[in-house]
Amino acid sequence: MRAEAQSLVAEAQLTNITRQKFKEAYDLHTAAVIERAEKQILLAKYARQLLNMLDDTPVVPGDAHQPYAHAESARDILNEAEDELRMWEPNVAPIHSSAGHLGTNAVPGQMAAQEHHAQTYAAPVQTESHVPASTTSYDTQSQAGEPFISSEQMEAEQQRQLDTEAAEHGHYTTNA
């Protein structure tokens, strides 16, 4: 009977942690999908403005193409697009979690009334452009599992992985 009880506890612990981590992972994933979509919409609008500046007038053989006349306007549009990307901020609904109610053994435990509140996870947003990434804070008071990694720690870890992969393939990078 004791082994069966231990097995049930272990199963409950695994289920609780799996659900919590699954929810956290999909929170991050969906926030990233939303960010990418919103930024792609923004860039597509500016790209359409640039398309209107292209001269598609047919040229007769032997005639020279007209020089591009909208260089300054195009530069202004690109600058506006970059500024909007820099000013972009995430606006996603928070994902609430009751996993903070788990005791230290990953099963629901008794907590003081003042500590009995749901956690909210906010996803960090990673970008591939030169535009600075937006980040939000994490709740590091979770009692179930390890605390979240800060965006700086995550970026440093990603850089270490890139450097390791580059070294394995014979490419060497220098960090300035």
Tokens found for residue 18: 């799996």
pLDDT tens, residue by residue, 63-108: 888 889 999 999 999 999 999 999 999 998 888 887 766 666 666 6
Q: For 95, list phi and psi in degrees, rounded to 5.
A: -100, 120
- Is 152 inside a domain boundary? no
- Whether 56 is covered by a domain: the verdict is yes
Report the number of distinct structural domains present in the chain: 1
Does residue 92 lie in a domain region?
yes
Three-state secondary-structure class, residue 69: coil
| Residue pLDDT, tens place only, 126-167 | 444 444 444 433 344 444 434 445 556 667 777 787 777 777
Q: What is the CATH number of the domain that holds 75?
A: 1.20.1270.60
Q: What is the largest CA-CA distance in the chain?
A: 94
What is the distance between the terminal CA atoms of the chain, rounded to a whole angstrom?
A: 62
> What pTM did the predictor assign?
0.54
Alpha-carbon distance of 139 to 25, in angstroms, equals 15
In-domain check, residue 104:
yes
Residue 105 lies in a domain: yes
Q: Is residue 153 part of a domain?
A: no
